[in-house]
Homo-oligomer: A and B are copies of this chain.
Amino acid sequence: MLHLVIAEAELEPVPKDIANHPAVVNHARRRGKRPEETILDATYHHAAIKKLPDGERRGRPDIVHVCLLNALESIANREGLLRVYVHTRNDEVIYVKPETRIPRNYNRFVGLMESLFKNRAVPRDLKLLRLEEKSLGELVDEIKPDGVFVMHEDGELMKPPEFGRTLSRFQNPLVVVGGFPHGDFRGKIPGRKVSLYREPLMAWTVVNEIIINFEHWSL
């Protein structure tokens, strides 16, 4: 089983510090929600987000959305070989059941994330997505992987098929992919650093390379 963690994802409700900013208030009103209940989104909160620390990378639910669409619809997931987790910048972990059908429409996905942050699980009965306060370290300890890899621009360069083969030699490998648009992890991430290409790649590209090259040696 491959455990894939989208880590330090830029997914969070609007922080209190900017909840009164006109860009945030107007966007929330148009959506019929209170500002603190909406998800921070760089596209709509651009003017407000600049005032926050790390403002140039925050508010990217779209990255999580595309990573989840790719991971959950992959052959590896259909074959029961994959578990996906989202760890956020605020040390929350979203557990995703493999049978989850993520909304294809972005705005619906954001609406689902708003419910999730409010109710801690969605839907209330099936709990396909469940959110807990948890650090990345605690999540790794809980999963008890027999190998931990961190996808990193400065990591050891491995061709994707070679990395897929490496993963397939473990029973329960865990791979960490940064869920942010650029730059480095903010926290210390334990594990073997690996890079799949000589230039930075988008998070969803790395997710696809990992899963499909893992499938190659595991199916």
Residues of chain A at the chain B interface (Cβ within 8 Å): 41, 43, 60, 62-63, 66, 69-70, 73-75, 78, 104-108, 159-161, 196-197, 199, 201-202, 204-205, 208-209, 212-213, 215-216, 219
Contact = CB atoms under 8 A, between A and B. Distances in A.
A63 B69 CA distance: 11
Nearest to A109: B106
Nearest to A79: B197
Nearest to A198: B78
Given A160-B215, A204-B69, A208-B70, A197 B107 contact: no
A160 B70 contact: no
B204 A70 contact: yes
B201 A208 contact: no
A75 B107 contact: no
A62 B105 contact: yes
B66 A209 contact: no
B70 A70 contact: yes
18 contacts: A62-B105, A62-B106, A63-B104, A66-B69, A70-B208, A73-B202, A73-B205, A74-B208, A75-B205, A75-B209, A78-B199, A105-B106, A106-B107, A160-B212, A160-B215, A160-B216, A208-B208, A216-B216
